């Protein structure tokens, strides 16, 4: 992927907070006003956000969804340190400095049965690509995993039941008519008890050879989860795109603080997750 393609779209914008919802497990959904970002964002991209006046270092957060009609976008984040703790204190009406959208996002292919797997703070990019796919001829199946309560109230799905051990879904995806099931090692009602890859395997085993040929895997989550997803995709001979999570400083390609080793046609190369990614072909990084 060419990191120069999207650089002309990166903007520094002042965005007003329109809504800020708190959920169990120190999770928040932040709605910001920005017609520019709502229009320009592609699934898998992120923004670099100034969390407060007292912290100069911005924080990268994936874009979960956009509303182009109203010119807004949503961020889902979890409090994990001082930066996100201060972000959680921001109030409706306040204005935050945002750089974005940043990064090379997911490439939507002609595979008609995409499998979207998101874990923890890796859920937002999966929701973003599901939003893009819902108005196409793709028929995605989404698996979301969390070891803390989900940042929404799971509801019983009326859209098929490809996995008998999982019955509940994310309400927003149900509203979009996108099939989704949830996974966790916790005992949540209607949620598959196990890893997201365990649930994915159960789903893939229900598909015919012809259907499997129409599957492409898209995933975002913690590194061990992505490694497991890549291994599963290889086992079933499925193409797989992964969005990596890395600590970032500048997030616009200048500091090279988020480099990872990627296999290229010319051999191993160090790529910056922020602008060369965050999305890569899974076979090149695992």
**Cα dihedral sign, 67-68-72-75:** positive
Integer-rounded Cα Rg, in Å, for the chain is 18
Would you state the structure tokens that stand for residue 26, as one six-digit string? 């120190």
pLDDT digits (tens, 9 = 90+) for 78-111: 999 999 999 999 999 999 999 999 999 999 999 9
Backbone phi and psi for residue 16, each to the nearest 5 degrees, phi listed first: -85, 140
pLDDT of 4 over the 50 cut: no
Scanning the structure block, which residue is given the tokens 């789903």? 203
Query: pLDDT per residue over 119-142, tens digit each?
Result: 998 999 999 999 999 989 999 999
Confidence band for 8, pLDDT divided at 50, 70 and 90? low
Q: Is the pLDDT of residue 255 over 60?
A: yes
Note the pLDDT of residue 130. 97
Q: Which domains does the chain have, with CATH numbers?
A: 7-102 (2.40.30.10), 115-242 (3.40.50.80)
At residue 124, the 3 state secondary structure works out as helix
Q: What is the pLDDT of residue 160?
A: 76
Residue 261, both tokens: 């080793």
pLDDT number for residue 135:
87
Looking at residues 240-255, what average pLDDT do you find? 81
| pLDDT tens-digit readout, 61-72 | 999 999 999 999
Q: Please write the tens of the pLDDT for every residue from 141-176.
A: 999 999 999 999 999 999 976 677 899 999 999 999
d(CA 247, CA 250): 10
Q: How far apart are CA 220 and CA 61, in angstroms?
A: 13
Q: What is the model's pLDDT at position 3?
A: 42
Which residue has 């924080």 as its token pair?
59
| For residues 176-188, average pLDDT | 95
Give the closest residue to 29 by CA, choosing from 92, 76, 62.
76
Q: What average pLDDT does this structure show over 23-42?
A: 95
Q: What pLDDT does residue 2 have?
A: 41
Sorting pLDDT into bands at 50, 70 and 90, what band is 265?
A: confident
pLDDT at 257 (0 to 100): 77
> Can you state the angle between helices 223-235 and 196-204, rounded to 10 degrees?
20
Residue 246, pLDDT score: 74
Banded pLDDT at 249 (limits 50, 70, 90): confident
Strand-strand pairing, 141-145 and 115-119 = parallel
Answer whether 196's CB lies under 8 Å from 123's CB.
no
The alpha helices in 146-238, defined as continuous H runs, are: 171-175, 196-204, 209-212, 223-235
Mean of per-residue pLDDT scores for the chain:
91
**Distinct helix (H) and strand (E) counts, the chain:** 8, 17
């Amino acid at each position: 992927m060419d990191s120069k393609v999207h650089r002309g779209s990166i903007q520094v914008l002042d965005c007003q907070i329109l809504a800020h919802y708190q959920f169990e497990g120190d999770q928040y959904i932040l709605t910001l006003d920005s017609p520019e970002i709502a229009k320009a964002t592609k699934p898998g991209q992120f923004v670099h956000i100034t969390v407060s006046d007292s912290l100069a270092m911005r924080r990268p957060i994936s874009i979960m969804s956009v509303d182009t009609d109203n010119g807004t976008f949503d961020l889902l984040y979890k409090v994990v340190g001082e930066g996100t703790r201060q972000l959680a204190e921001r109030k409706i009406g306040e204005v935050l400095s945002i750089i974005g959208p940043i990064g090379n996002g997911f490439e939507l292919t002609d595979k008609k049965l995409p499998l979207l797997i998101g874990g923890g703070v890796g859920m937002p990019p999966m929701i973003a690509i599901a939003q893009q796919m819902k108005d196409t001829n793709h028929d995605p199946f989404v698996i979301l995993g969390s070891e803390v309560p989900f940042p929404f109230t799971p509801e019983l799905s009326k859209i098929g039941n490809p996995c008998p051990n999982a019955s509940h879904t994310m309400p927003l995806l149900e509203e979009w008519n996108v099939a989704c099931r949830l996974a966790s090692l916790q005992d949540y009602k209607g949620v598959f008890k196990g890893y997201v890859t365990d649930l994915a395997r159960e789903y893939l085993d229900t598909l015919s050879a012809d259907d499997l040929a129409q599957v492409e895997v898209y995933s975002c989550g913690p590194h061990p989860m992505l490694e497991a997803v890549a291994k599963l995709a290889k086992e079933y001979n499925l193409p797989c795109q992964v969005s990596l999570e890395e600590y970032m400083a500048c997030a616009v390609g200048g500091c090279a603080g988020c480099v990872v080793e990627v296999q290229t046609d010319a051999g191993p190369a160090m790529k910056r997750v922020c602008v060369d990614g965050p999305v890569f072909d899974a076979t090149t990084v695992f």
